[in-house]
Amino acid sequence: METGRNGEVIVVGGGVVGLTTALVLAERGHRVRVWTRDPVERTTSAVAGALWWPYRIEPLALARAWALASLDVYTELAADPDATGVRMVEGVLGEGELDAWAAGRLSGVRAVTEAEGGVAGLWARLPLIDMSTHLPWLRERLLAVGGTIETRTVSSFTEAEAPVVVNCTGLGARELVPDPSVRPVRGQLVVVENPGIDTWLTSSDENGEMAYFFPQPGRLLLGGTAEDDAWSLEPDPKTAEAIVRRCAALRPEIAGARVLAHRVGLRPVRDAVRLEREPLPDGRVLVHNYGHGGAGVTVAWGCAREAAALASR
């Protein structure tokens, strides 16, 4: 049974990790089918903020390597932001510190000055991805190189009759593998009209509550929350009010911005990303690529390349 180059691969999961992995596999010559429960516009990835930065992901050393591999790709994609949804944008990592892993690879890094006031931290120029553009771009690029996408719900990997199956199901892996170590960390966002803010900011207060804002085309995303083991996808009005209040404390003009939408996503957190090859009893191969927490966008390309290598062995 062929598992190497040009063999058929079914990627289960159509979020940013699944689509990126499928695209890398297809560009390496595999015949790739993506099985996804939801269209890309309704995946967890569609809710992401999506600033390039490793957040709620372990092990951190590997995550940083995957993130840097992805940084190279996003830097290239930022040359055509209207098509790809990727822009390089300046902003402040509040209370941030850049270890050697990132400092030498990022541009525009400097400390916030006393004259600038506001949050103490570091200025940096990072990829900021508009997922409403980037996910459809990934989909169309995959289709253009011969991949296919099917909307279907999978209850067992035995349904995927291909020599190689790649598991990019995120939180769905909890039931599908099954892997009870995958758990949700709930994130809530408020989308408002942008009152003229063109830089991003991330910050945490002494109670660990987050405040961040990301300028995306035509809107400003405000966050956020990180609620462990919370499953509700319904926006909480009091939480939304608190998010706006925390962000307005950093930029007062946010207080009067008109609310456009509320979003909730469940980050698929695990003690460590599962990225490994599992031989199946029938001779097929199952490659796992899930558990990326709040950093799926950040590490997508680095993990996709490693998963593709495992699938091609």
**Residue-by-residue DSSP string for 59-104:** SHHHHHHHHHHHHHHHHHHTTSHHHH-EEEEEEEEET----HHHHT
The pLDDT, as a whole number, for residue 4 is 46
pLDDT in the model for residue 96:
65
Length of the chain (residues): 313
SS3 246: helix
Specify the 3-state DSSP secondary structure of 119. coil
Distance between CA 154 and CA 176 in Å, rounded? 8
Determine which helix (DSSP H) or strand (DSSP E) holds 272, and give its type and residue range. Answer: strand 259-279
Confidence at residue 240, expressed as pLDDT on a 0 to 100 scale: 98
Residue whose C-alpha is closest to residue 118's, from 253, 209, 224, 251: 251
The pLDDT of 13-36, averaged and rounded, is 97
Q: Are 155 and 146 in contact (CB under 8 A)?
A: no
Tens-digit pLDDT profile for residues 78-95:
999 999 999 999 999 987
Across the chain, mean pLDDT equals 93
What does pTM read for this prediction? 0.95
- Phi, psi of 129, rounded to the nearest 5 degrees: -110, 125
Element holding 164 (H helix, E strand): strand 164-167
Residue 288: the pLDDT is 98
Alpha-carbon span 146 to 279, nearest angstrom = 26
Write down all domains in the chain, each with its CATH number in brackets. 8-311 (3.40.50.720)
